[in-house]
Amino acid sequence: MPVRPDYPRLVAGHASVLEMLNAGEVGLPVLNRLLLVGAEALDVPGMSFVEFGPNGGRVVAAHGELAWAVGLPIPILDQPSDDRLCGPGVRAMSVDVLPPDLAEELDGRGLRHLLAARVEIGGLTIGNVYAIYPDAERPDDPEHRSVLGFLAATAAHMYGDQAGLPVHGDGTAVAALADGLAVVSRDGTVQLWNPAAERVTGLRSADLLDRPLPFPVPPPGQVVDHRLPDGRWLKVSSGELPGTAAARVVIFRDSSDQHIRDHDRDLFVAVTSHELRTPVTVIKGYADTLGTHWDSLSDPERRQAAGVIGQRAGELARLVDRLLATTNDAGPVGGSPPVPFDLVDTLRAAADDLPAEVRYRLVIRLPEHLPKALGDRASMATVLTELTTNAGKYSPEGSPVLLSAEADRRTVAFRVSDRGIGVRPEHVERAFERFWQGETGDRRRYPGAGLGLYLVRRIVERQNGWVSLRPRDGGGTVAEVRLPRG
């Protein structure tokens, strides 16, 4: 007989979640509290939330025996027959439905059964809430199903209110939208507003009929772009309606993706120009000084100038490598065939080659021995360089940056920890986007291309590993990389 859910604990816990939301807290802290409430009420060893993004699912929050999986990418099985997306809202399943390596890890922990609840908004599945069990009896209990469905509905409410979610900056799974269509009379008022127009603009037909069209109408045969108040873009065209004296048909669709691509291209050019200009200017200045004033400079001054040129040339080379890697999505970034390698030895060697301004701040606390990792040893130097320089940039000058490592049954992991400005919980996933920086002023206060963490995630995930960020207890940030054991 399965243990009944602890309903008093569920009610009290859910009240604490609402208090957090009412107090203005958003995003992952509230989502993590929701999972804690569920785990305590159901008395399960672990819970997690997988958010669906354009490129698959990812564990964005987890508790208990599933906490190790935060940051782990999870493929979405999106075939129409897959009832995880279009069947019952809550269902029990074996861990065997998961990717083999993940199923093996859970089975090794004595966890063999899942209860999954879809999180939906307007008919769109945006993620799943999972509770994990060692036995098959409790997932089949109707009360457990009801509680998990309630938790999924709460998560959906958070997403619907945009309370710091979604975690992914590029959004959750989005349905294809048909073109909007309006018929506008001679006096410029709307006579017809189709259902697709409501979906595209968010404006209801009842609010627009016999009122002016809320965006400009281009001449027939021309196309204009119009930005809606919520920031989305429409591509609008028009034509004369046959059989009428002056009525016009207006067709429009959401073109935000195209504008995002154009914005990314412009941002790439601007960031690249800025980031290349600094080292090139310094190199040129010191080279001109050496060429013009060689005889009047002392040996220490010449060595200093040559050292600066070497340092800046190294920065320039790393920047060019990052730009080439991050603009070629099909490129072999960390793409060598995975082989077992000694992670501790690799990290120690990579630490010796770090830029001087980072190397002297690095505190190395690595164990003598770890199981071998499975991956591309050469790429770990790039990963460590990006993580440590990022930690150094966002922390007080001279403050230590800690490098540590550990292993569990399935993975070998290392961490780079700092005492810097920290990362806001709602930004822990967005930080891995190309060109993204946490605050508008960050590019001025902490100059950079916004490519480092994007590159790190690409390298690590191509080796079947994953990387995550989290706030550090006491202030700062922890970046964690996990690779499969060899």
Q: Using one digit for the tens of pLDDT, what is the confidence trace for 132-150?
A: 998 877 888 889 999 999 9
The predicted structure's pLDDT at residue 438: 55
pLDDT over threshold 90, residue 216: no
Q: Looking at the structure, do residues 144 and 32 belong to the same domain, yes or no?
A: yes
Segment among 168-172, 308-312, 380-384, 470-474 with least mean pLDDT = 168-172
The predicted structure's pLDDT at residue 330: 43
Kindly state the average pLDDT of the residues 296-309: 83
Segment among 267-271, 337-341, 426-430 with least mean pLDDT = 267-271
Considering only CA atoms, give the Rg of the chain.
27
The first and second tokens of residue 216, run together, are: 């400009």
Residue that finishes a domain, picked among 254, 275, 305: 254
The predicted structure's pLDDT at residue 173: 29
The predicted structure's pLDDT at residue 66: 92
Tokens 């050019």, located at residue: 269
Q: Is residue 430 part of a domain?
A: yes
Residue 162 Cα distances to 26, 159, 202, angstroms: 9, 5, 16
Q: Is residue 168 part of a domain?
A: no
Q: Is residue 174 part of a domain?
A: no
Q: Looking at the structure, do residues 239 and 191 belong to the same domain, yes or no?
A: yes
Segment among 263-277, 338-352, 411-425, 442-456 with least mean pLDDT = 263-277
Residue 73: is the preceding peptide bond cis (ω within 30°)?
Answer: no
The predicted structure's pLDDT at residue 247: 66
Q: Is residue 472 part of a domain?
A: yes
In this structure, the number of other CB atoms found within 10 A of the CB of residue 24 comes to: 8
CATH of the domain at 262: 1.10.287.130
CATH of the domain at 46: 3.30.450.40
Q: Are strands 362-365 and 401-407 parallel, antiparallel or unpaired?
A: parallel
CATH of the domain at 221: 3.30.450.20
Segment among 117-121, 218-222, 259-263, 368-372 with least mean pLDDT = 259-263
Q: What is the pLDDT of the chain when averaged over all its residues?
A: 78
Q: Looking at the structure, do residues 103 and 229 belong to the same domain, yes or no?
A: no
Residue that finishes a domain, picked among 304, 326, 348: 326
Q: Is residue 169 part of a domain?
A: no
Q: Looking at the structure, do residues 46 and 26 belong to the same domain, yes or no?
A: yes
Burial class, 165, CB count within 10 angstroms (exposed 0-12 / middle 13-18 / buried 19+): buried
Q: Looking at the structure, do residues 290 and 308 belong to the same domain, yes or no?
A: yes
Name the more confident of 164 and 100: 100
Q: Looking at the structure, do residues 400 and 438 belong to the same domain, yes or no?
A: yes
Spatial separation of the C-alpha atoms in residues 257 and 259, rounded to whole Å: 5
Burial class, 352, CB count within 10 angstroms (exposed 0-12 / middle 13-18 / buried 19+): exposed
Residue that finishes a domain, picked among 125, 160, 195: 160
Q: Is residue 175 part of a domain?
A: no
Candidates 170, 224, 233; CA nearest to 201 is 233
The predicted structure's pLDDT at residue 275: 55
Kindly state the average pLDDT of the residues 278-292: 75
* % residues pLDDT > 70 (the chain): 76
Q: Looking at the structure, do residues 58 and 155 belong to the same domain, yes or no?
A: yes
Query: How sure is the predictor about 266, in pLDDT bands with cuts at 50, 70 and 90?
Result: low
Spatial separation of the C-alpha atoms in residues 132 and 51, rounded to whole Å: 17
Domain span at residue 185 reads 180-254
Q: Domain tally for the chain?
A: 4
Name the more confident of 298 and 434: 298
Reduced 3-state DSSP string for the chain: CCCCCCHHHHHHHHHHHHHHHHCCCCCHHHHHHHHHHHHHHHCCCEEEEEEEECCEEEEEEEEECCHHHCCCEECCCCCCCCHHHHCCCEEEEEHHHCCHHHHHHHHHCCCCEEEEEEEEECCEEEEEEEEEECCCCHHHCHHHHHHHHHHHHHHHHHHHCCCCCCCCCCCCCCCCCCCEEEEECCCCEEEEECHHHHHHHCCCHHHHECCECCCCCCCCCCEEEEECCCCCEEEEEEEECCCCCCCEEEEEEECHHHHHHHHHHHHHHHHHHHHHHHHHHHHHHHHHHHHHHHHHCCHHHHHHHHHHHHHHHHHHHHHHHHHHHHCCCCCCCCCCCCEEECHHHHHHHHHHCCCHHHHCCEEEECCCCCCCEEECCCHHHHHHHHHHHHHHHCCCCCCCEEEEEEECCCEEEEEEECCCCCCCHHHCCHHHCCCCCCCCCHHHHCCCCCCHHHHHHHHHHCCCCEEEEEECCCCCEEEEEEEEEC
The predicted structure's pLDDT at residue 398: 82
Tokens 């963490």, located at residue: 453
**Residues 6 or more apart from 469 whose CB is under 8 A from it?**
423, 428, 431, 432, 453, 477, 478, 479, 480
Q: What is the pLDDT of residues 74-129, one digit of tens each?
A: 876 543 334 444 446 888 888 888 888 888 888 888 899 999 998 887 667 788 99
pLDDT over threshold 70, residue 223: yes
Q: Do the beta carbons of residue 212 and residue 236 sit within 8 Å?
A: no
Query: How sure is the predictor about 357, in pLDDT bands with cuts at 50, 70 and 90?
Result: confident
Name the more confident of 240 and 433: 433
Q: Do the beta carbons of residue 117 and residue 139 sit within 8 Å?
A: no
The predicted structure's pLDDT at residue 346: 93
Q: Looking at the structure, do residues 474 and 364 belong to the same domain, yes or no?
A: yes
The type of residue at 136 is A
Query: How sure is the predictor about 253, in pLDDT bands with cuts at 50, 70 and 90?
Result: confident
Q: Is residue 356 part of a domain?
A: yes
CATH of the domain at 369: 3.30.565.10
pTM, rounded to two decimals: 0.60
* % residues pLDDT > 90 (the chain): 21
Residue 78 Cα distances to 83, 87, 113, 173, 436, angstroms: 9, 12, 21, 11, 29
Tokens 């060598």, located at residue: 336
pLDDT over threshold 80, residue 416: yes
Q: Looking at the structure, do residues 215 and 317 belong to the same domain, yes or no?
A: no
Q: What is the pLDDT of residues 420-468, one digit of tens each?
A: 988 887 778 878 877 666 544 444 444 455 677 888 888 898 888 999 9
Q: Is residue 165 part of a domain?
A: no
The predicted structure's pLDDT at residue 480: 94
The predicted structure's pLDDT at residue 192: 78
The type of residue at 18 is L
Q: Looking at the structure, do residues 243 and 268 belong to the same domain, yes or no?
A: no
Segment among 219-233, 345-359, 400-414, 454-468 with least mean pLDDT = 219-233
Phi, psi (degrees; rounded to nearest 5) at 124: -95, 130
Segment among 43-52, 65-74, 319-328, 474-483 with least mean pLDDT = 319-328
Spatial separation of the C-alpha atoms in residues 389 and 366, rounded to whole Å: 19
Q: Looking at the structure, do residues 213 and 79 belong to the same domain, yes or no?
A: no
Q: Do the beta carbons of residue 460 and residue 382 sit within 8 Å?
A: no
Q: Looking at the structure, do residues 156 and 185 belong to the same domain, yes or no?
A: no
Range of 54-58, 140-144, 188-192, 271-275 with top mean pLDDT: 140-144
Annotate 57-72 with b (16+ C-beta within 10 A) or e (fewer).
bbbbbbbbbbebbbbb
